[in-house]
Amino acid sequence: MRTTINDIRKKKSAAEKFVMLTAYDYSTARLVDESGVPLILVGDSLGMVVLGYESTIPVTIEEMLHHTKAVVRGTKNSLVVGDLPFMTYQISTAEAMRNAARFMQEGGAHAVKLEGGEVVAETVRRIVDCGIPVMGHIGLTPQSIHQLGGHKVQGKDKAAAERLLNDARALEQAGAFAVVLELVPSQLSKLITQKVSIPTIGIGAGPDCDGQVQVISDLLGLFSDFVPRHAKQYVKLSDNIRSAIGEYITEVTAGKFPGSQHSSNMDEEILADLT
């Protein structure tokens, strides 16, 4: 049975910690889904870890939809959240609603995520009113990286902390079913988690959020251009991949691969007839 937003809400009431993981393609989504991850985020982090951009800013809605469709095809149980990319929800509420609808209709997503707090609350409300579940995202919001002046922890002084608390409350009031807290001091995440009724999902936000999210390429040690402090590499697959490719090169150049088990034969008589 596919996870619903009510299942995610219930996890908070039951004080049951949960995870969300990103995925960007069919095969990975299958593995994540089969591993029992309730929430998969098709994050615009794919701009860096899949498409090789420097930030999430160049990511287009067409690129997001392409990957969202592949991820959805790989899942049976996980709830798939599609990330609305830069400037697809800020220009007008109508545009935001149209783009959120594209994620549901064309992408097959089950919810959308967008960045911002009070400033996007009305947009969130309108999207939710149309029947589209929305996940918020506050703290370090990577689409505003140039405005924020880099990957810095957010909410460290009183005014900034109050703003974040108000942002979380505004998203809760607007009907968001959960909110991502990115690069927020642990104590502030704990406070926000206590003050809002919706689940908080942390990344670089300490242990007291209701859930945690990681970028799968970080968790699997696949992406080394930039490894954030908050990322934990549970395995270093890049080493395994390099060594497998090296072995392949060695075997091919030594004439060891392909062997008979990887090759097929044809009728010798037919072969003899060929000139």
Which contacts (CB < 8 Å, 24+ apart) does range 163-167 have?
A: 163/117, 164/117, 164/138, 164/139, 164/188, 164/192, 165/191, 165/192, 165/195, 166/117, 166/118, 167/116, 167/117, 167/118, 167/136, 167/138
**Residue numbers 207-226 binding ligand KIV by CB under 6 A:** 213, 215
Structure tokens belonging to residue 164: 């974040």
Q: Is 187 helix (H, G, I), strand (E, B) or coil?
A: helix
The residue among 152 and 242 lying less far from ligand KIV, judged by its C-beta, is 152
Q: 20 or 127: whose CB is closer to ligand KIV?
A: 20
CB-nearer residue toward ligand KIV: 83 or 167: 83
- By the rule CB under 6 A, 84 interacts with ligand KIV: no
What is the distance between the alpha carbons of residues 103 and 107, in angstroms, rounded to a whole number?
5
User: Is residue 181 near ligand KIV by the rule CB under 6 A?
Assistant: no
Token pair for residue 75? 């899942």
- Please confirm, yes or no, whether 182 is among the known catalytic residues: yes
* Residue 185 within binding range of ligand KIV, rule CB under 6 A: no
**Token duo for residue 112:** 């959308």
Contact 80, 42 (CB under 8 A): yes
Instruction: Decide if residue 83 touches ligand KIV (CB under 6 A).
Output: yes
- Stretch of 42-50, 187-195, 250-258, 260-268 contacting ligand KIV, by CB under 6 A: 42-50
148 vs 257 by CB, closer to ligand KIV: 148
**Binding of ligand KIV by 179 (CB under 6 A):** no
Residues in contact with ligand KIV by the rule CB under 6 A: 22, 41, 43-45, 83, 137, 180, 182, 203, 213, 215
- Which residues form the catalytic set? 182
